[in-house]
């Protein structure tokens, strides 16, 4: 018998299922209060924290899902979902292979990533003006062509 067998080992139960998840929910309540009082947004990077699967489940159960779901396809897929608590948004970013790169919770009125960038709006305005003056062939197919 090796000497390692002589070392007493005590198995400790894992932290309660609501451990880190409960603490994050309290932090989110504080962040929403700051948003309401000061207009200041906040972000929590969930992948940077030592969260167990039970913590994620607790967050999902308490926060739920709201009415707004946005998907962005750029360098992988991003989904931005309003939770059932207005002002809290769940961001999930995936690689091209579909693996989750990061998940974040944001407290804000509307996530910045959903706002159009000025250079994109400028380009869009230019394309629209070209369409209106007939300088370019229509680049948007008619509704019938889209379903063909």
Question: What is the distance of C-alpha 86 from the center of its chain?
Answer: 14
Average pLDDT over residues 35-58: 94
Q: Judge contact between 112 and 106, C-beta under 8 A.
A: no
Q: Render pLDDT for 52-81 as a digit per residue (tens, 0 to 9).
A: 999 999 999 999 999 999 999 888 899 999
What would the mean pLDDT of 112-134 be, rounded to a whole number?
92
Which of 11-15, 72-76, 125-129, 134-138 bottoms out in mean pLDDT, i.e. has the lowest? 11-15
pLDDT tens column, 19-34: 789 999 999 999 999 9
> What is the pLDDT at residue 47?
92
How much is the mean pLDDT over the chain? 85
Fold of domain 19-114: Ribosomal Protein S8; Chain: A, domain 1 (3.30.1370)
pLDDT of 16: 47
137 vs 6, more confident: 6
List own/partner pairs for 38-42 with CB under 8 A and 24 or more apart: 41/106, 41/107, 41/108, 41/109, 42/106, 42/107, 42/108
Q: Which residues pair with 121 in a beta bridge?
A: none
pLDDT tier for residue 10 given thresholds of 50, 70 and 90: low
């Amino acid at each position: 018998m090796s000497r390692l067998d002589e070392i007493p080992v005590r198995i400790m139960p894992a932290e309660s299922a609501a451990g880190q998840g409960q603490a994050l929910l309290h932090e989110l309540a504080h962040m929403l209060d700051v948003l309401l009082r000061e207009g200041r947004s906040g972000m929590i990077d969930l992948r940077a924290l030592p969260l167990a699967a039970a913590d994620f489940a607790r967050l999902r159960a308490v926060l739920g899902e709201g009415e707004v779901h946005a998907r962005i396809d750029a360098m992988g897929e991003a989904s931005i979902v309003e939770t059932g608590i207005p002002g809290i948004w769940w961001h999930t970013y995936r690689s091209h292979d579909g693996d989750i790169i990061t998940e974040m919770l944001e407290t804000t009125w509307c996530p910045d990533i959903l706002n159009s960038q000025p250079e994109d709006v400028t380009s869009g305005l230019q394309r629209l003006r070209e369409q209106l003056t007939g300088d370019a062939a229509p680049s948007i197919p008619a509704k019938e062509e889209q379903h063909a």
